Structure 1
Amino acid sequence: MRCVVLPGVYPPQEDTLLLAAALRRERLPPAARVLDVGTGSGALAVAAARHGAAEVTAVDVCGRAVLTARLNGLLAGCRIRTVRGDLLCPVAGERFDLVVANPPYVPTPPAPRPSRGIARTSDGGEDGRTVLDRLCAEVPAALRPSGVLLLVHSALCGVRPTLALLAAAGLRAEVADRALVPLGPETRSRAGWLLRRGLLAPGQEKEELVVIRAERV
């Protein structure tokens, strides 16, 4: 798709493509409602609309991301509702058939969290799970019966904790996809710190991305 990305907005990357492929494999029910949490460029929201979703909502805490998603929806000829806010707060009380999320997940040295800019889009906190754990806790209540969560993140921040949290919330969770990709620029910039923590091996040039599929049962 033709994609506009404003400064400070997370651009489509390998994780976006991996999640989009998983999204396209989902069978959406009639009149399906889809939520894209942390939409960034809106690429996944557009993919959901093109896949046949009747209603797509894209949420991001960044105003520029909301504008970018709106622009890309218009360019693609897709009707997308864009809302600014923190994770699921703007859609509290609503229910969806599919939720997709590509949150910040890169483990990050302790420091004041950036309030804006591209650095914020990858800042997952010291263990990479600051936003991940919130999503695992908040998304189950936003799913309709048989609703599905598709969530992408790096194995650097742990796969088992994600599966365990989603299972504890009553979802049937599994790894749907895995892919080895070159380390991104933000991960490379933190390589020394990640190496000292034992999260990267000496000379490691790639990381594993996983897509978690969790279904409400």
Structure 2
Amino acid sequence: MNLLVPPGVYTPQDDTALLTEALDTVPLREGTRVLDIGTGSGALALEAARRGGRVTAVDVSRRAVLATRLNAALAGVRVRAVRGDLLSPVAGESFDLIMANPPYVPDPDGARRPRGAARAWDAGHDGRLILDRICREAPGLLRPDGTLLLVHSVLSDPDRTLEHLRSAGLRAEVADRRWVAFGPVLRSRHGWLRERGLLSHDDDKEELVVIRAQR
């Protein structure tokens, strides 16, 4: 997929590809209501729109929202892209499918709020700054039989994600897994993650998981 990705906007990577593959397993009919949380350049939103979804894409970054609108126009698909903090722009709405590739990298400076481009990956000391909010808020926006697809690293505790989603009344499971090479952010934090017991000295890959939950 050829996308325009301006500076400061998350470039689609292995987690995007893994979530796109998961999207292929969800039947989309014309007019299916889809929400893409943290859309970045709009890669997932565009894919869902191509398949007939009626897509809303949300991002806290102005650049990401503008990039998504431009990429949708260039691709000839309709995507409603709005700026806001996670689910606040769609309060009161409901969706058949919610997708999220949120920030999930543990941050040694987790006490501070991430700024700029780092908002696309930094997620607090335990990597769950945004994940826990999605687990709390997204189930309430799912229609009956609606599906949530969520990708993140095992460094951010998938069992906790499953527990939260099941507590919210959803059927949740790990639908896919993939080992990927460290990117520059994880390479720069390898020593700190090793000290926390999350990595060994020889680790040079992280495992990503796609969690699928259904109402």
Provide Cα deviations, 1:108-142, integer angstroms capped at 9, x if missing partner.
112522321x2221101100001000000000011
1:209 corresponds in structure 2 to: 208
1:136 corresponds in structure 2 to: 135
1:12 aligns to 2:12 (yes or no): yes
Provide Cα deviations, 1:146-205, integer angstroms capped at 9, x if missing partner.
000000000011111000000000000001110000011111111111111011111201
Provide Cα deviations, 1:48-80, integer angstroms capped at 9, x if missing partner.
011221x10000000000011111111111100
Q: Separation in 2 of the partners of 1:71 and 1:64?
A: 10
Q: Separation in 1 of the partners of 2:61 and 2:6?
A: 11
1:192 aligns to 2:191 (yes or no): yes
Instruction: Give the letter for the 2:12 counterpart.
Output: P
1:163 corresponds in structure 2 to: 162
**Please, what TM-score do these two structures have when normalized by structure 2?**
0.97
Instruction: Give the letter for the 2:22 counterpart.
Output: A
Instruction: Give the letter for the 1:77 counterpart.
Output: G
2:49 corresponds in structure 1 to: 49
**Please, what TM-score do these two structures have when normalized by structure 1?**
0.96
Q: Separation in 2 of the partners of 1:84 and 1:17?
A: 23
1:105 corresponds in structure 2 to: 104
Displacement over 4 Å in runs of 4+: none
CA contact (8 A) 1:56 1:79 kept: yes
Instruction: Give the letter for the 1:2 counterpart.
Output: N
Q: Separation in 2 of the partners of 1:159 and 1:115?
A: 25
Q: Separation in 2 of the partners of 1:37 and 1:114?
A: 17
1:90 corresponds in structure 2 to: 89
Identity of aligned residues (%): 63
2:32 corresponds in structure 1 to: 32
Q: Separation in 1 of the partners of 2:20 and 2:93?
A: 23
Instruction: Give the letter for the 2:125 counterpart.
Output: E
CA contact (8 A) 1:166 1:172 kept: yes
Matched ranges for 1:53-92 at <5 A: 53=53, 55-92=54-91
Unaligned 5+ runs, structure 2: none
Instruction: Give the letter for the 1:214 counterpart.
Output: A
Instruction: Give the letter for the 1:147 counterpart.
Output: G
